[in-house]
């Protein structure tokens, strides 16, 4: 079985979606005739849909990966050495031609997109209308993948700003769209001394990723939301996601009256006709793509703590009910 399943035969429950924890991720319902999806662009000072962080001095209380021999000439003795080497083994980072990694160099929005896409092995691409991302640029397809997965949208002036360093609060927003949040409620980052300086659009994400342990505060009890992320910090954050999330790849739901729970699904979830007239339950699931309902006789699809870029209902006059 692709996702952990728990039988819920005869269960009748009312589920609600946690929209706060996933603010900024598109969750629209469209029919099969829809051909163009409008991107949700946001202002950088109020609604930016990305996130960043700097961990060089951050409180890294999580267990470090096993020590292995450093490959790069400039990471020996660096706090992130073991995370960098593990990321190399997983294949989502590389260094420079001179044999260095430059761990303390800041990372841009485009570069962070490439790292996250590579680590999660995203393939689905979406069109966009960013005026500053040209098809000739090396990051063109990386931005398309990030948009398709719901990691990034853009700014209200239709720009992506690919070469801007990504900030800690922006990284929190991106990371929150690639993790499950069930059972991680708490005050978390709200107890840090500068939490009040976090922009409103980023606060739910900053607190969620803090509670999950992916982006913590500094020893002086600050978060420093506007600080630019470094390459080393980006590697650590993404490595922790890969190690701690239950990541699945594009699934088909064929059984009815079962609960599909606790997973990050890369690609689409397809609900097929074989579910018959039964119900489908999804809980604490992040879909880095679409939920596509092919079933034309299903009674209800019930969602709680579920996010997806779109919910697509196939079939003309499909009577399926979607309960959130």
What pLDDT, in 10s, does the model give residues 191-205?
999 999 999 999 999
| Residue 67: inside a domain | no
Residue 238 in this model has a pLDDT that exceeds 90: yes
**pLDDT band, very low/low/confident/very high, at 46 (cuts 50, 70, 90):** very low
DSSP H stretches of helix in 165-324 = 168-176, 203-212, 231-244
User: Domain boundary at 186, 211, 244, which?
Assistant: 244
Domains of the chain: total: 2
Report if residue 319 sits inside a domain. Answer: yes
pLDDT-based confidence at 183, cuts 50/70/90? low
What pLDDT does 25 receive?
Answer: 32
Question: CB-based contacts of 284: which residues, under 8 Å, 6+ apart?
Answer: 180, 181, 182, 261, 262, 304, 305, 306
pTM of the prediction?
0.77
Place of tokens 């470090």: 64
Last residue of a domain, one of 184, 212, 244: 244
pLDDT tens string 77-94:
999 999 999 999 999 998
**Residue 237 above 90 pLDDT?**
yes
**Do 225 and 178 lie in a common domain?**
yes
pLDDT in tens, 136-179: 999 999 999 999 999 998 898 999 999 999 999 999 999 999 99
Whether 52 maps to a domain, the answer reads: no
Dist. CA 81–CA 72, nearest whole Å: 9
In three-state form (DSSP H/G/I as H, E/B as E, the rest C), the secondary structure along 148-201 is HHCCCCECCCCCCCCCCECEHHHHHHHHHCCCCCCCCCCCHHHHCCCHHHCCHH
Q: Specify whether 231 is located in the same domain as 283.
A: no
pLDDT in tens, 118-129: 999 999 999 999
User: Of 55 and 287, which is predicted with more confidence?
Assistant: 287
Query: Do 159 and 255 reside in the same domain of the chain?
Result: no
Q: Over 90: is that where the pLDDT of 99 sits?
A: yes
What local confidence, expressed as pLDDT, does residue 66 receive? 46
Residue 54 lies in a domain: no
> Is the pLDDT reported for residue 3 higher than 90?
no
166 and 295 together in one domain:
no
Give yes or no: residues 201 and 257 share one domain. Answer: no
230 and 266 assigned to the same domain = no
Q: Answer yes or no: is pLDDT of 280 > 50.
A: yes
Tokens linked to 208: 């969620």
> Are 28 and 143 contained in the same domain?
no
Q: 18: pLDDT confidence band, cut at 50, 70 and 90? A: very low
In a domain, 204, yes or no: yes
Could you tell me if 228 and 124 lie in one domain?
yes
What per-residue confidence (pLDDT) applies to 247? 97
State residue 315's pLDDT score. 86
User: Residue 9 belongs to what domain range?
Assistant: 5-36+246-323
Contact 267, 289 (CB under 8 A): yes
Domain termination residue (choose one: 224, 244, 264): 244
Percent of residues in the chain assigned helix, strand, coil, to nearest 5: 25, 20, 55
Assigned domain for 60 exists: no
Q: Residues 120, 26: one domain?
A: no
Same domain, 237 and 152: yes
In a domain, 151, yes or no: yes
**Do residue 150 and residue 85 come from a single domain?**
yes
Are 14 and 160 within one domain?
A: no
Compute, in degrees rounded to 10, the torsion defined by CA atoms 18, 291, 26, 237: 70
Instruction: Give domain status of residue 149, yes or no.
Output: yes
**Residue scoring higher pLDDT (7 or 107):** 107
């Amino acid at each position: 079985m692709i996702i952990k399943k728990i039988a819920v035969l005869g269960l009748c429950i009312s589920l609600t979606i946690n929209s706060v924890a996933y603010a900024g991720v598109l969750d629209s319902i469209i029919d099969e005739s829809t051909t163009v999806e409008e991107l949700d662009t946001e202002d950088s000072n109020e609604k930016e849909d990305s996130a960043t962080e700097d961990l060089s001095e951050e409180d890294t209380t999580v267990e470090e990966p096993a020590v292995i021999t450093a490959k790069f000439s400039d990471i020996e003795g660096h706090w992130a050495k073991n995370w960098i080497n593990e990321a190399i083994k997983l294949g989502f980072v590389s260094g420079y031609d001179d044999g260095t990694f430059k761990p303390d160099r800041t990372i841009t929005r485009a570069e962070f997109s490439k790292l996250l896409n590579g680590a999660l092995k995203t393939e689905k691409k979406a069109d966009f209308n960013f005026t500053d991302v040209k098809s000739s640029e090396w990051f063109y397809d990386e931005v398309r993948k990030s948009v398709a997965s719901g990691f990034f949208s853009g700014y209200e002036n239709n720009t992506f700003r690919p070469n801007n360093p990504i900030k800690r609060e922006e990284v929190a927003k991106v990371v929150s769209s690639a993790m499950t949040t069930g059972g991680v409620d708490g005050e978390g980052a709200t107890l840090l001394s500068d939490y009040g300086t976090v922009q409103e659009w980023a606060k739910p994400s900053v607190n969620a990723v803090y509670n999950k342990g992916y982006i913590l505060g500094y020893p002086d009890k600050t978060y420093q939301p506007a600080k630019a992320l470094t390459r080393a910090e980006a590697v650590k954050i993404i490595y922790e996601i890969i190690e701690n999330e239950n990541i699945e790849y594009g699934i088909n739901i064929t059984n009815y009256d079962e609960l599909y729970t606790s997973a990050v699904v890369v690609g689409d979830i397809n609900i097929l006709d074989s579910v018959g007239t039964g119900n489908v339950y999804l809980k604490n699931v992040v879909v880095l793509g679409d939920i596509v309902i092919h079933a034309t006789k299903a009674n209800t699809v019930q969602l709680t703590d579920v996010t997806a870029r779109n919910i697509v209902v196939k079939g003309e006059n499909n009577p399926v009910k979607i309960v959130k």
